[in-house]
Structure formats: structure tokens, C-alpha cells
Amino acid sequence: MKKTVKFTETVLRDANQSLIATRMAFDEFEPILSELDNAGYYSLECWGGATFDSCLRYLNEDPWERLRKIKKACPKTPLQMLLRGQNLLGYKHYPDDVVRMFVRKSVENGIDIIRIFDALNDIRNIEVAVDETLKCGAIASGCICYTISPIHNLESYVKLAKEIEALGVQSICVKDMAGIMSPKEAYDLVTALKKEIKVPIVIHTHNTTGLGPMTLMKAVEAGADVIDTAISCFSGGTSQPPTETLVYALREMGYEISVKEDVAKKINDFFKPVRAKYLANGLLNPVVMGNATDALIYQVPGGMLSNLVAQLTAQKALDKLDAVLLEVPKVRKDLGYPPLVTPMSQMVGVQATVNVLTGGRYKNVSKEIKAYVKGEYGRAPGKIDPEVQKLVLGDEKPITQRYADLLEPGFEKAKRELGERAHSDEDVLSYIAFPAQAEAFFEKRDRKEDDNEIHFSIREVK
């Protein structure tokens, strides 16, 4: 029997987020939703990550309504979202009642698959979201956040994957959010996982360095079951590898693939003018669609490297770039080798820069680094250097328990705070996730409703 490879299309979420800062409005992609539903994808990644924030902050859209509308237009294909475990869609920890309510409402409003990760791979930060996803009858996909360090290896990843599988997830996703996984690493990792893990393996990468299509192909050769790709005109660079290219190459190699080429072409033709619009208005920078291979030399993610260059340029200290790049791995080691993904990549980058520019290591420490060393982000993957811990925390003791266990329940409190401004429990969750943006959105919405009422009564009088 032919081996099947399934495709998750990311154009509505990760491609949109990675290339144009999630600015694509619902109305822009609405006309193509039925074709996306017909294309034969395993799933459509369409929600979570930055879509929620962007809807409220920039697009004046209710993110929950967006989800319901996508579900209505795409009844056949499972809808997928990305969830940052105990952090939901942001970087702070929420109490368990909020996490459970968020998951429940996501499923009620149309989500079928929730991909759940923690940036530090602290399994305590994903277990509640996984548990609630399963209780709601949706598919929970547990993530391994991929990184490269002396303490991350095949053995540690397989151990982590087994722990995640034991939570009851229906698939394990290798999430290479920094786009640094090479074809060989992918092959070796998937081979190792396939020996020990029974549930399907999903591979998520970014094409930042140009390795993406090779990495996906080697992962498939090693037995990966699902790959993430983006329709070609929203693929490449900091986005995912191209859907049609992978469909073509893998089908030719004999894999069974349900994505229909003619429908994929229609979808791509639809998005061409959308891309042209974002190229013209400058939101899509052609540079991010190309290959950035410096990350291969410096072993830091592409996005982090450009941040460092920007920071040093602003400080008129670009000549210190080499010194900072030497300092980055040292800071990372001091902090127990956190994966270099948001927000850790920024935190480590800033600390390395400050260490170099002030000429004294940890003389100045950000409050984020302090919170991390204290244990407020979760457990560091490795051991935090005891001397650095003392420098950062002084006599304060680090937290060893799960941070969310220290938090008071939050949903009912937020509901009371909002009062009539919230029209639904979904509104309360929007407010908890992004208070300022949600309040501004509610205000605009109420004003619009008032206007409608006035028009209505005028007509009545006439």
C-alpha cells in the first residue's frame, strides 16, 4: 500500500502571520474559503497565534465571529488553531479556569484540532489545555518545540514525546518555529520518534534558510504523516514551504496525497492579487520571501539575527555584532538552554547585547529575564547557572511549582468587571487575552449598534 502524506494549509494563519503580520482581513479571503474546503487538506490552520490579537487590534473584527464564519464556509475540512498552552495566545500565564474556558469556547465556535505548545517544552504548561481539548471531543496535537543545544538530542526529544503522548494527544508535532531544522536532523528525529511513538507525527517548519522543502521531504521519507505548507504565493522565506511544490514532488515519488492540484491552482490564483496588494502597500517586504542563510552560520534564528542587527544599529554599535554573537550561546547556557523562540529569543538577545555593551555580565537584567530565572515561565530545559541565578535573584528563592497553580481563578472576575459590555463568554475571553484591544473593540461595536438603533427608530417614525 502507498504511504499517505497529509497536508495542513497555513495561508490563513502562519503564512499570513509570518509574511504580512496577520493583516489579511476576513473579507479578503472569504471568496476562496469554499475552494480551501474542497482542496483535500488534512486541516486548515486558520486561528490562534496572532490572528486573535490582530483581529481586535488592527482589523476591527471579532475573532470568534471570524472563526464561526470560516467554519460555516468550510464544513468539511478540520479547522486548526495554535495555542501556547498555559499562555493561550500571549506570553503570560493564565489560571486553569480561563485556559479551560478558552479551549471549550474555541471548540464550540468551530475548532477541530488544537496544536498546543510551550516555548520551554515544560509539559506542565500544556497538560490542562490538552486535557480540556480531549474533554471537548476535539483533536489535541502536542508539540515538541525544536531547538539545537548540547542538552537537546534525539534521546531527550523522544523522552519528551513519550510524556506528551501519555497525556492522550492524537498527534505529536515537531514545531520548528525558528526554521533551523536541517533535512538530516528531521530525518533522524522522525526516525527516532517513529520507533517509539504510536500517534501520527506532524512536521512544522519555516523556509527562512531555504532548507524547508528538503527538511519536509526527509521528514516524510522517515515516516512523517502530516506536513505544514502554504499555498505557493504565500510561501517561502519566513513562511512555510510551498504546498503545490511538495504535492508535486511527493506524488511523483509515489506518496498518496489527497490535495487536488487543480483546486490548489485556483487557490493560488486567488491569492496572487492579494499578494500584489501587500507588496504594493509595503506590508509584504520581498526580502522576507527570500532565503536568509546567515542563520546557518550563526546558529541563531533568522528573526533573532535581524533583531540583533537592528538593536546594535540603533545603539551605533554594529561593530560589536561579533562579540554579541559570541555572547548569545553563553547567555543561553547560563539560562539552561531555552529554545530561541519568542519571547526567549528577544530576552536572550537583549541580555547578550547588554552584557557586551555595559562591559559587565548581568550588571543590568530585564524584568523578563528575572521572571524567567525565578521560574515564572516554567521550568528551564537545563540547569540555570547558580552564579547567574544569584546575580539575578539575589536572596529571592526560585519557584519550583507550576506557576499557574499560584494564580487565582480569573474568568468570573473578568466577567463581573466587564458587566454589560460583554455580550457573551467569548467577549470575556477576548478581554482576558487582550484587555485594551478588546475594550476598544467593544466600544466601537456598541457605537455601531447604537447608530443602527437610531436609524431604525427614524424609519419607524416615518
Query: Which residue ranges make up the site for Co ion (CB under 5 A)?
Result: 14, 177
Cα distances (angstroms) measured from residue 411 to each of 8, 101, 111, 417: 32, 8, 21, 10
CB of 176 to Co ion, least distance (A): 8
Radius of gyration of the chain (CA): 23
Nearer residue to Co ion within complex by CB, 120 or 325: 120
CB of 139 to Co ion, least distance (A): 18
Cross-strand bridge partners of residue 172: 142, 201
CB of 441 to Co ion, least distance (A): 26
CB of 177 to Co ion, least distance (A): 5
CB of 292 to Co ion, least distance (A): 15
CA angle 373, 379, 383 (to 5 degrees): 70
Nearer residue to Co ion within complex by CB, 119 or 365: 119
Nearer residue to Co ion within complex by CB, 14 or 327: 14
Nearer residue to Co ion within complex by CB, 228 or 427: 228
Kindly tell me the burial class for residue 98, based on how many C-beta atoms sit within 10 Å of its own C-beta (0-12, 13-18, 19 or more): buried
Nearer residue to Co ion within complex by CB, 19 or 418: 19
Task: Tell which residue, 125, 88, 101, 83, has the closest CA to residue 411.
Answer: 101
Going by the DSSP 8-state scheme, the letter that residue 240 receives in this structure is P
- Distance, CA of 327 to CA of 322 (rounded, Å): 9
CB of 415 to Co ion, least distance (A): 32
Cα distances (angstroms) measured from residue 416 to each of 171, 240, 410: 38, 42, 10
CB of 342 to Co ion, least distance (A): 10
333-336, Cβ contacts within 8 angstroms, sequence gap of 24 or more = 333/150, 333/385, 334/384, 334/385, 334/388, 335/369, 335/372, 335/373, 335/380, 335/384, 335/385, 335/388, 336/380, 336/381, 336/382, 336/383, 336/384, 336/385
Nearer residue to Co ion within complex by CB, 12 or 324: 12
Question: Which positions ≥6 away from 403 have C-beta within 8 Å?
Answer: 86, 93, 375, 376, 377, 378
CB of 246 to Co ion, least distance (A): 16
- Distance, CA of 397 to CA of 36 (rounded, Å): 52
Nearer residue to Co ion within complex by CB, 14 or 127: 14
CB of 28 to Co ion, least distance (A): 21
Per DSSP, helices labelled H in 5-114 are 14-20, 26-29, 33-38, 51-57, 63-73, 96-108
CB of 265 to Co ion, least distance (A): 25
Q: How many CB atoms lie within 10 A of CB 226?
A: 22
Nearer residue to Co ion within complex by CB, 177 or 354: 177
CB of 211 to Co ion, least distance (A): 14
Annotate 428-452 with b (16+ C-beta within 10 A) or e (fewer).
Answer: bbbbbbbeebbeebbeeeeeeeeee
CA angle 232, 237, 239 (to 5 degrees): 65
- Distance, CA of 376 to CA of 359 (rounded, Å): 28
